[in-house]
Structure 1
Amino acid sequence: MAPLAGFGQRFLARLIDTVVLLAVVVVVSWAVMGDDVRHGTDETLGRRALVGIVGYLLYFAIEGAMTAARGQTLGKMALRIRAARLVDGAVPGPAGWTRAAVYVLPAVLSVILVGPLFWVVNSLWCTWDRPFRQCLHDKAARTVVVAAY
């Protein structure tokens, strides 16, 4: 198996993925809400919630599909790292969807649960996990993030 990716590489890859997705969500927000996106009212609350949910679902779809198919999102491609099955280093396949679900689902539930706190703990978990530097979504899917050559 290739060497494990470091926290910095993983963080920057996730940051790239988030910035790309936010750009898409901003465009969708303007298309759905027009000028109301800047001047939120009680009347626009439902549309704002819908845009947020669509954003998270889009993140899930992109993350799941790309990780399942090739082990890499746009951010991972840019940083030359990839997700791989722990057992054999292969492309995650269906485990890519598990990783995406464990990463995104708590954020969708953040209004009623502790999604943001889970995101922070999940993202930092790889800094103290040994020997494979896995975040919680890696553990759930039995994957690791390694260098991509």
Structure 2
Amino acid sequence: MSTEQPRPGPGDEPEGGPAPHEAGLPKAPPPTDSYGTNPYGGPSGAVDPLAGMPPLASLGRRLVARIVDALIVGIPVSLVLLPTMDGYDFDNGGSGNYVQQSVVLLVYFVYDALMLSARGQTLGKMLMRVRVAMLDDGAVPRGNPAWARAAVYSLPQLLPCIGFLFWLVNVLFCTWDRPYRQCLHDKAAKTVVVSAA
């Protein structure tokens, strides 16, 4: 009597039945990111949301666009507020400066949201040929996404100290975020910054 087990032939199934993909069962889904999509696309059938969109904008262009926008808003608003400026007063902790900075931030918030909602670009972004696009389809972030993006960028800065720290982490986030190089305000609005023709 032989104790040797017969080897499976070409038509025999392995122990435990056929492999799931051979039995007509679906394959395991590809890995997903926080948006429920495979961040890299690829042969698994998942489509990269950036497929068909222009390439991501460089960090340098994004920075220069923000600087240009800050000057476009900051200089005129500061000139309008100039008659109300008394200089820095150490006795009251510079509360006059805080109010003036708050006005500049609020004007910047409205400017940013309106421009992004209208065309996906501020004046600085137009100059640097970059634009903000919805991650899922590349559309202009009209309405709520534009306002949410602008709010997360500008409004936390109204909080003394903590607001600046949040803003700093927010703007630096795109330097290590992969694969879309999003800042926190991009993640909040589900947007990306891409090159514009």
The match for 1:91 is 140
The match for 1:140 is 188
Specify the code of the residue in structure 2 equivalent to 1:24: P
Q: What do residues 21-58 of structure 1 show as CA deviations (whole Å, max 9, x unaligned)?
A: 2212320221333xx2x353657955433322211110
**Structure that is richer in helix per residue:** 1
- Give the count of matched residue pairs: 144
| Match of residue 77, structure 2, among 25, 40, 43 | 25
Could you tell me how far apart the structure 2 residues matched to 1:114 and 1:122 are?
12
Q: TM-score, normalised by structure 1?
A: 0.88
Identity rate, percent: 51
C-alpha contact (below 8 Å) 1:53/1:108 kept by paired residues:
yes
C-alpha contact (below 8 Å) 1:71/1:82 kept by paired residues:
yes
C-alpha contact (below 8 Å) 2:88/2:97 kept by paired residues:
no
The 1:56/1:147 distance shift into structure 2, 3 A limit, reads same
Q: TM-score, normalised by structure 2?
A: 0.68
Gaps of 5+ in 1: none
Could you tell me how far apart the structure 1 residues matched to 2:176 and 2:156 are?
21
Specify the code of the residue in structure 2 equivalent to 1:14: R
| Match of residue 76, structure 1, among 85, 110, 125 | 125
> Per chain length, whose mean CA-contact separation is higher, i.e. which structure has more relative contact order (CA < 8 Å, sep 6+)?
1
Gaps of 5+ in 2: 1-52
C-alpha contact (below 8 Å) 1:28/1:51 kept by paired residues:
no
